[in-house]
Structure 1
Amino acid sequence: MSSIGAQRSPEPRPGLSHPHPQDPPQLMTSAVIVAAGRGTRFGPDRDKLFLEIRGLPVVGHAWRRFDRHSGVDEVVLVVRPGLEQAFEELGRQIGATKPYRLAHGGAERQDSVWNGLEAISPAAQVVLIHDGARPCVAPELITGCIAAARAHGAAVAAQPVTDTIKESCDGATIARHLDRSRLWSVQTPQTFQVPILRRALAEVRRQGARVTDDTAACELIGQPVQLVPSRAPNPKVTLPEDLPLIEAWIDAAEPKPPTARGG
């Protein structure tokens, strides 16, 4: 059975075993995939996370990227109540080989991340927080985020801003120009040494603050966050018109079978 909420499940997933209780705990890397939101731009009856790309739901592509990564030891999926069975079936569809647990989402994203953090293994040293609506995350980016978090405590996938950015106070006229050479667009995974993220989210709760991502929580405790350049496409599914382009990127990233050569 899967863990829900803040309770950790003592049971391993099929095909994998937990270490003997007397063995020293192995330091682990956990991935928390936040999949509890509901996008409204696709209509009230369409959950963007379960829209299919090449026969697999969006969130399934994201999950599979972490399940197949050699540096990730377990996956926690933060889901809406009522979707537990759908995610169990999705785990079978992707052929999940890593241990995984389910946790319920909260009222805000920060609450969902907290619930996911409470569900990871006690042996987890590093945790990646990833948006379930980003199905294209590259293995190299996951590797880079893990390494940066181990070295610096906190890290985030990001791309330098290439467009010219203006600030507007009224939504109608330009107020000032922003120097894009200093601007980065942050993505996920956002990756942390576990004690640092626990302390940051605890401070968010103590202050009653609202943050839109986990790096903002780190600002509250003065924790620097290392930028990890995201060199491959890593878009978030937001609008219906995003799907064809994301499908093309996924096709390009998938290994192609060898073609027969005529004699």
Structure 2
Amino acid sequence: MQKAAVLVAGGRGTRMGAPISKQYLPIAGLPILMHTLSVFHQVDSAIELILVIPKDDFAYWNELCEKFQFQIPHQLVAGGNSRFQSVKNGISAISFEEGLVAIHDGVRPFVNESVIQESFEKAAEKGSAVAVIALKDSIRKLTDDGKNFYQERQYFRLVQTPQTFDLKRIRKAFQVTELPQFTDDATVYEHQGWEVTLISGNPENIKITTPEDMDYAEYLAERKNGR
């Protein structure tokens, strides 16, 4: 079965406060996106890699690839005005009609290879596979009238990526008008009435967003490299 991965990094990352967008910041000497592309390539070198970034960044990205001699094959696709539009652009660019696609945040470079592999296997069986992890902290629900209530944390999961789907289904799902409740790809898929299948993610698979995340990312990279 043919496989693709759409790595989404269409935003500007303003919360990082850096002079360049967060997806291009270096971790262990390489831009974040190169780490993310590499882990998918390591799982299966035949995966069709689609990288979604702002159109204005294409030249800069190509310069980075030349600078770091980054040669993993991938296709650049222009991002849209929202994550929904960026993902839609990415899955539309896949060269085949039938198969599987993993949709992944480009700034989650520490996803385990085993999670990616399981996501493809489960999506092939069930049509979808969404990586999640259990909550460690207690949680409370806030109400509009200012009250709050205890919630049983065992009934909740934190959602990560990859979110992997049957390609035909997810393409159909993204043909609808964008809605506010579409907070990730699973909610778009679910809007069609299809059940979302969950798999275990890995806690290190953080979405790098703030300067504090960069400090932790450097630690994770050092640990991964055995230093």
TM-score normalised according to structure 1 size: 0.79
Q: Deviations over 1:31-52 (max 9, x none)?
A: 1000111111122733111111
CA root-mean-square deviation? 2.0
| SS of equivalent to 1:103 | strand
2:88–2:174 CA contact under 8 A, matched in 1: yes
Distance in 1 (alpha carbons) for counterparts of 2:12 and 2:40: 22
How far the C-alpha of 1:148 sits from its partner, in A, is 0.9
Give the drift of 1:176: 1.7
Q: How many residues align?
A: 225
Residue 255 of structure 1: CA displacement? 5.6
Name the structure 2 match of 1:251.
222
Measured in 2, the distance between the counterparts of 1:121 and 1:236 equals: 28
Instruction: Flag structure 2 segments of 5+ consecutive residues without an equivalent.
Output: none
Which whole-Å deviations, capped at 9, do the CAs of 1:77-100 have from their partners, x for residues lacking one? 111011112223444536333x42
Structure number with greater Rg is 1
Letter in 2 for 1:129: I
Q: How does 1:1-263 map to 2 (within 5 A)?
A: 27-43=1-17, 45-70=19-44, 72-92=46-66, 93=68, 95-97=70-72, 99-123=73-97, 125-170=99-144, 173-203=146-176, 205=177, 208-210=178-180, 211-254=182-225
Identity, in percent, stands at 34
Q: Which has the higher helix share?
A: 2
The runs of 5 or more residues in structure 1 that have no matched partner are 1-26, 257-263
Higher RCO, Cα 8 Å, sep 6+ = 2
Change (3 A) 1:255 1:91: farther
CA deviation string 1:121-152 (max 9, x = no partner): 12550001010111111111110111111111
Distance, in Å, in 2 between the alignment partners of 1:124 and 1:65 is 23
Q: Secondary structure at the match of 1:96?
A: coil
